[in-house]
Chain A
Amino acid sequence: GAGVSQSPRYKVTKRGQDVALRCDPISGHVSLYWYRQALGQGPEFLTYFNYEAQQDKSGLPNDRFSAERPEGSISTLTIQRTEQRDSAMYRCASSLFGGFSSGNTIYFGEGSWLTVV
């Protein structure tokens, strides 16, 4: 697609349930990122992939959170045993290659709103 696509756009789940959020990056983009954004805050880094390799998962809050990108394209962020504090906007982003430079823009998706009730 033309941009980073995320699904579902909105998810309401009961506390204790598992959720899976999907990200389809821009075609050909090597690097994929997951961020979380609470209301009134900036995005907070969760994890980062180059191809299928998870390069950095230091931002994942605890072991209930995991992410994968098995074929180096689509990625899934999974939250197990959800808690109310997990409620937030989860944003995926992608870039042509890793690293930051003026020639390598990170493109964000519209995000998945997760509400845990």
Chain B
Amino acid sequence: DQQVKQNSPSLSVQEGRISILNCDYTNSMFDYFLWYKKYPAEGPTFLISISSIKDKNEDGRFTVFLNKSAKHLSLHIVPSQPGDSAVYFCAATGRSSNTGKLIFGQGTTLQVKP
């Protein structure tokens, strides 16, 4: 049972345009969500997070939106740059459970074309 799903395996956008990566979850106990970026041959690196008490968190070109009623979150990258080309994973956890467990989606490969 995939509790965190990224239904788009890949996304291609033009440099300067907006990239929107989507993520859906099923477990209503999740209350903290994260996005990780991964370049080839490297480990995932933390990008941005959001708590369930918020519906938006912004950090520079990156904004994460959370829609709790739809159990959906999205990552917006504006403007997209070629260096943003990577695999993006969303992850979720229930902080109240006091566990170190993150549940990851399958990842979306973003290609930003110059």
Chain A residues engaging chain B, CB cutoff 8 angstroms: 4, 31, 33, 40-45, 48, 50, 55-56, 58-59, 91, 93, 98-102, 105-111
Binds A, one of B12-20, B42-50, B66-74: B42-50
The answer to whether A100 and B93 have CB atoms under 8 Å apart is yes
**Selected contact of B100 from candidates A31, A42, A105, A109, CB within 8 Å:** A31
List the A side residues contacting B63 at CB < 8 Å. none
**Selected contact of A98 from candidates B9, B100, B106, B107, CB within 8 Å:** B100
List the B side residues contacting A58 at CB < 8 Å. 99, 101
The answer to whether A4 and B100 have CB atoms under 8 Å apart is no
The answer to whether B104 and A99 have CB atoms under 8 Å apart is no
State in angstroms the CA–CA spacing of A107 and B43 once bound together. 8
The answer to whether B101 and A45 have CB atoms under 8 Å apart is yes
The answer to whether A108 and B100 have CB atoms under 8 Å apart is no
CB of B26 to closest CB in A, whole Å: 15
**Selected contact of A45 from candidates B42, B102, B105, CB within 8 Å:** B102
CB of A21 to closest CB in B, whole Å: 14
The answer to whether A45 and B106 have CB atoms under 8 Å apart is no
Judge whether B98 is part of the interface by a CB distance below 8 angstroms. Answer: yes
**Selected contact of B43 from candidates A31, A105, A109, CB within 8 Å:** A109
Q: Which 10 A-B pairs have the closest CB atoms?
A: A42-B104, A48-B100, A108-B43, A45-B101, A105-B46, A108-B44, A42-B89, A100-B32, A56-B99, A43-B104
Given contacts A100-B32, A108-B43, contact A59 B101 (CB under 8 A): yes
Query: B1-44 CB contact bits vs A (8 Å, 1 = yes)?
Result: 00010100100000000000000000000001010100001111
Judge whether B77 is part of the interface by a CB distance below 8 angstroms. Answer: no
**Selected contact of B89 from candidates A33, A43, A50, A99, CB within 8 Å:** A43
State in angstroms the CA–CA spacing of A107 and B44 once bound together. 8
- Chain B, residue nearest A59 (CB): B101
The answer to whether A106 and B43 have CB atoms under 8 Å apart is no
List the B side residues contacting A33 at CB < 8 Å. 100
State in angstroms the CA–CA spacing of A19 and B64 once bound together. 40
